Structures are given as C-alpha cells and as structure tokens.
C-alpha cells in the first residue's frame, strides 16, 4: 500500500490554537541568541493581540496570523501585517507597508518548500487586498520582545527562510551584527566638556537618555531591560544563563555637528554604569553593518562580536 501524504491546509489561527503556536515558536526559536521561551501570557501580548508589544514603535493597520496544518498538526506559521514600521512612521496611512514579522518552517526538510510557498502565497493575497506596494520581512522594529531581545531580524542560521523568501522576490536590504558586553562593575566616567546636562525619561525597564549642551539637544539613547537568555562567559561550557537581566541598547546617537568630541563615549559609559547599578548582567546591541562609527565605539568600550548575522529583506509588489 502506498502511503498518502495528508493535505496541507493554510488558515488563520484562532485563540484555540494558541498552545499549538506556543509549542511551534519555542521549538523554532530555542537556539536564537537573547531569546527567552514564550508562555501563554507573552504569546498573547507579543504575537496574538491586535496591537502587539514591540520594542520599537509600529503603527498597525491590519494583522493576520497564518498557520500551516497537516494531519491536525501546526507545522508552519507566518505573522503578517499591514502598517508602518519605525522607519516609515512619517508616511501617510494610505501608503502602508506589508510586514512579515516571522516565518516558521517545518522541522521536516521535505515539507519546507511547500509550506513556505503556500504561506507566502496567502500572505501576498492579504497584502494585495490591502493595497500594499512594498513589503518588509523581518524588519528590526517588528520583532517580539521575547525574541532576540526585541529585534526582529532573520537569523543568519535560518537559511531555508532566506532561500524561500528570495525565491519569492525578496531581496536583502540590511544586515545586522550582534555585539555584547558583560557588566561586572561601574565604569569610570569623564564628562567631556562643561555645560553638558543629562536628562532621564521612562523607567528602569525602558530608560531613555537625552544629552543637552545648555538648552540644545545634542544626543539621545535608549536601553530596554528584559529577562532573557544571556550568552555564556568565556571559559564556561554552559549554553547560556536563563533568567538573567539583559539590557538591549536600542539606540545611541549624537547629532553630527557634535561628534568627535567624546560625547558618545561618555554617554555609553554612563549607560553601562547605570545598567550595573540596576543589576543588568549583560548588554546586547544589534547595529547595522553601515554604522561604522558605532561599531568602533562599542569595540573601544569592551563589546565583543557574537558569531551572528541578522537580515532584513524587502519586496516590491507587482501587479
């Protein structure tokens, strides 16, 4: 008797599917750096809600969670949306983007092409119906806070997703590194010039910094705190340390006319010193490959590069 492969069904997920989705996400994301396992509460807040939590600002218009089912098993998943990511927030509402937050493929290698193809076909119908002309996949601003400390890029060790997306017309638009630093003790700070003032905003879990020279804003930065999976210390054999506080340095910028005056160095060292006092164990940052000055600054302040690359892809929708 010749075995028959059960039909593949693509359908929107419902609340009764949350446990299936939880299991699928945790299996797929288990080895991604700075990721902590989802539970039903974080799944609801970061994935299922109509306006889910993100580290960066996103304007959602429409969302759809697509599941790929075979023999009553959830084997694939696509989180898709229409709206504005943090880079397109200035655009009017009638020019929305298509957003692909995450694409999960089956564990079975022989099923990946079919599942990926069918999920992306359904996603493109959704985007076309919404009048979308451009799609961004795995943009850093649409990530889940529990996943990669909130950055949503495609991990470089997910080559099947990359292959299937490029086969559907997506192209690489940016590449991100991951740098990290252990925090052992407060750092010495030297204010580089007179009349500099530092103003804090937010709270200890989302701390924002503004640097003023007299009354002129000349720099800003942000550190988001989460409880995640830290990378192991050198010389240890552990995969990572769960439950330790991680600081995600989401932004640091000095206005161009004030650069080369050691203000960025002072601001970064102040942030790291504050993080030590808050009990943060490790700080991670995911700079774009083009941010040469930032990469140099982080290296000078003791950050190390993780063996990691993350990718953002885009697609222009054709009629």
Across 94-121, average pLDDT: 96
C-beta separation of 57 from 150 below 8 A:
no
In a shared domain, residues 58 and 169 = yes
Question: Is the same domain home to 139 and 19?
Answer: yes
pLDDT of residue 94: 84
- For residue 32, give its domain range: 8-177+310-316
Residue 293 falls inside a structural domain: no
At 274, the pLDDT band (50, 70, 90 cuts) reads: very high
Residues 114 and 249 in one domain: no
Give the pLDDT score at 236: 46
Res. 244 pLDDT band, cuts 50 70 90: confident
In a domain, 3, yes or no: no
Residue 173 lies in a domain: yes
Q: What is the pLDDT of residues 21-46, one digit of tens each?
A: 999 999 999 889 899 899 999 999 99
- pLDDT band of 92, cuts 50, 70, 90: confident
Instruction: From residue 72, give the alpha-carbon distance in Å to each of 8, 36, 224, 314.
Output: 10, 27, 39, 32
Contact status, residue 17 vs residue 35, Cβ threshold 8 Å: no
Residue 164 shares a structural domain with residue 69: yes
Banded model confidence at residue 5, pLDDT cuts 50, 70, 90: low
Task: Write the DSSP string, 294-314.
Answer: HHHHHHHTT-EE-S--EEEEE
Q: Is residue 1 part of a domain?
A: no
143: domain CATH number?
3.40.630.30
Calculate mean pLDDT across residues 152-157. 96
Domain match, 168 and 184 both: no
Domains: count for the chain: 2
Residues 67-77 have pLDDT tens digits of 999 999 999 99
Whether 222 and 110 map to the same domain: the answer is no
């Amino acid at each position: 008797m010749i075995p028959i492969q059960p039909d593949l069904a693509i359908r929107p997920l419902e609340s009764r599917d949350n446990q299936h989705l939880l299991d699928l996400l945790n299996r797929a994301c288990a080895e991604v750096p700075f990721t902590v396992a989802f539970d039903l509460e974080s799944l609801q807040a970061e994935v299922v809600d109509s306006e889910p939590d993100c580290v960066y600002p996103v304007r959602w218009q429409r969302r759809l969670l697509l599941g790929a089912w075979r023999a009553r098993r959830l084997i694939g998943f696509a989180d898709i949306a229409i709206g504005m990511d943090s880079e397109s927030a200035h655009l009017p509402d009638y020019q929305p983007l298509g957003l692909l937050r995450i694409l999960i493929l089956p564990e079975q290698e022989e099923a990946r092409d079919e599942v990926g193809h069918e999920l992306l076909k359904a996603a493109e119908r959704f985007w076309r119906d919404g009048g979308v002309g451009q799609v961004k996949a795995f943009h850093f601003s649409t990530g889940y806070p529990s996943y990669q400390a909130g950055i949503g890029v495609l991990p470089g060790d997910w080559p099947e997703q990359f292959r299937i997306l490029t086969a559907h017309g997506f192209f690489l638009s940016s590449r991100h590194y991951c740098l990290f630093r252990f925090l052992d003790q407060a750092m010495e700070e030297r204010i580089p010039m007179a009349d500099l003032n530092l103003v804090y905003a937010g709270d200890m879990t989302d701390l924002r910094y503004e640097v003023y020279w007299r009354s002129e804003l000349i720099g800003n930065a942000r550190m988001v705190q989460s409880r995640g999976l830290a990378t192991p210390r050198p010389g240890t054999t552990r995969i990572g340390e769960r439950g330790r506080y991680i600081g995600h340095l989401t932004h640091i910028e000095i206005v161009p006319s004030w650069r080369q005056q050691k203000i960025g160095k002072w601001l970064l060292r102040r942030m790291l010193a504050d993080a030590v006092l808050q009990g943060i164990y490790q700080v991670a940052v995911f700079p774009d490959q083009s941010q040469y000055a930032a990469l140099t600054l982080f290296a000078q302040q003791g950050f190390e590069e993780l063996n990691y690359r993350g990718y953002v892809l885009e697609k222009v929708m054709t009629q």
